[in-house]
Structure 1
Amino acid sequence: MKKLLTVIAMAFLAGCSIVGEAGVESAPYDLIKTDIDSKTETQLEIREYKSMVLVSTSMDDGGRNSAFRRLFNYIAGDNKGQKEIAMTAPVYMGNDASENASGIKEQGTKIAMTAPVFMNNDAVKNLQGNAMSFVMPADFTYATTPTPNNSKVIVSEVKNYKVAAITFSWTLSDSNVEKHTKILLDWLKKTDYTVVGKPYTAAYNGPMTLPMYRKNEILVPIK
């Protein structure tokens, strides 16, 4: 049942679309430089995220599905927020508060889904190991972001965060990730930027989206 709910939640992330139209807010950034890899025609960028509030949890405690459920529960209301906020896209399930028939809590602040979902993000300094992060909508600040009920979920803020990014389709398979990470790192060697953290992935769509229409990214912290 838990696996089924996770699949349903991730399908909502795709906006119930098979062609990649997620219909959710994306984390804003300033575009500093853009290029195209000549061999693969893949888009390459240098970006700066001025400010992002991240809600994160470890993927080392139960794997990706468990991490995703904890974060989904948080934005579905498993938090100490009081104001009800309309959701534009999906989220998750909880423990000791009242739940509706689908297992999603009715308490706390409901928060619209924002793309992308970051995985293995180095920006979350107070989480050891592999982390999964949701980006809070732009109208939330660190001060106004509700406190998680689950101690395994943490809220952090990233400012003036500069990354190199490569955007590609199909799946986040090991081979696809390795291929595009190499393209990105080889491109960076030709620039004046220095890598200051490990590459990590960003996913914009759920499993209902056909692979050729999915938007994925590899991001590398730089200075």
Structure 2
Amino acid sequence: MNLQTVWIIFAAVMLKAVGQALFSTGLQNPKYTAEEKKEGQDYEVRTYQATKWVSTTVSGMHLDDAMSNGFRTLFKYIQGGNNNQSKVEMTAPVTCRVDPGAGPTCESNFTVSFFIPEELQENPPQPTDPQVYVEERKEFTAYVRTFGGFAKEKSKREELLKLLESLQRDGVPYVDQPFYAAGYDAPFKLTNRRNEVWMLKAVPE
């Protein structure tokens, strides 16, 4: 096998990997059940099954920077940065849990996560990067607002405020923080973009 052939094979493998990472079409999603929407309701109520995710936590002031940095770290994991040195299929969405800081000038904690594919849920490859870990999420119920366009930090917070106003209007029990942002698409996908913000349903004590 000559060098040119090796480079062609390498390029094909990398294009497939990047394509899977950047496009939500055909990617596995975590399973959930959704309640039937009531009249005038502008959000979904989803209950997600208990699942495992691969995650990394970033501290900082800006959600978009944290998601970008976290994505790059997790992409190394699915490209073989694990104890099996195995490739892991990309999934959707990429979620970011936001634990706000104590004040406007305080750093927040952002936990960026990829859903681990179904076939690896039982025994996921363990990360080799100490900043990456396998997170076990228990079953949870979230209020979800979906929106399109290019979701920057400002628009995510605006959509979160709209969701909060809707929950207060409907008098449903919710958790103030943390909240989640979820993205499904590549930065250069121009149409039919899908973004979400999630707030957790409060569990009675």
Determine which of 158, 177, 192 is the counterpart of 1:213.
192
Higher helix share: 2
1:131 is matched with 111
The answer to whether the 8 Å contact 2:66/2:110 transfers is no
The answer to whether the 8 Å contact 1:35/1:45 transfers is no
The answer to whether the 8 Å contact 2:98/2:109 transfers is no
Q: Secondary structure at the match of 1:26?
A: coil
Shift of 1:10: 6.2
Determine which of 204, 207, 212 is the counterpart of 2:184.
204
Q: Does 1:51 align with 2:54?
A: no
Q: Does 1:186 align with 2:193?
A: no
Determine which of 110, 135, 152 is the counterpart of 2:87.
110
CA gap of 1:63–1:182, structure 2 versus 1, over 3 A, is closer
- Counterpart of 1:72, as a letter, is F
The answer to whether the 8 Å contact 2:94/2:183 transfers is yes
Q: Secondary structure at the match of 2:188?
A: coil
The answer to whether the 8 Å contact 1:78/1:148 transfers is yes
The answer to whether the 8 Å contact 2:20/2:27 transfers is no
Shift of 1:67: 1.8
- Counterpart of 2:167, as a letter, is L
CA gap of 1:25–1:35, structure 2 versus 1, over 3 A, is farther
The answer to whether the 8 Å contact 1:162/1:222 transfers is yes
Determine which of 107, 112, 120 is the counterpart of 1:140.
120
Determine which of 135, 160, 182 is the counterpart of 2:139.
160
Q: Does 1:14 align with 2:22?
A: yes
- Counterpart of 2:186, as a letter, is G
The answer to whether the 8 Å contact 1:36/1:44 transfers is no
1:119 is matched with 96
Q: Secondary structure at the match of 1:181?
A: helix
What is the CA–CA distance in structure 2 between the aligned matches of 1:137 and 1:66, rounded to whole Å?
22
Shift of 1:221: 1.2
The answer to whether the 8 Å contact 2:142/2:200 transfers is yes
Q: Which has the larger radius of gyration?
A: 2
Q: Secondary structure at the match of 1:197?
A: strand
| Percent identical residues | 27
1:93 is matched with none
Shift of 1:69: 1.6
TM-score by length of 1: 0.69
Contiguous gaps of at least 5 residues in structure 1 = 1-7, 16-20, 82-107, 123-127
Q: Secondary structure at the match of 1:27?
A: coil
CA gap of 1:182–1:37, structure 2 versus 1, over 3 A, is farther
What is the CA–CA distance in structure 2 between the aligned matches of 1:55 and 1:35, rounded to whole Å?
34
Q: Secondary structure at the match of 1:67?
A: helix
1:25 is matched with 28
What is the CA–CA distance in structure 1 between the aligned matches of 2:39 and 2:17, rounded to whole Å?
33
1:177 is matched with 156
What is the CA–CA distance in structure 2 between the aligned matches of 1:51 and 1:138, rounded to whole Å?
12
Shift of 1:198: 2.5
- Counterpart of 1:129, as a letter, is N
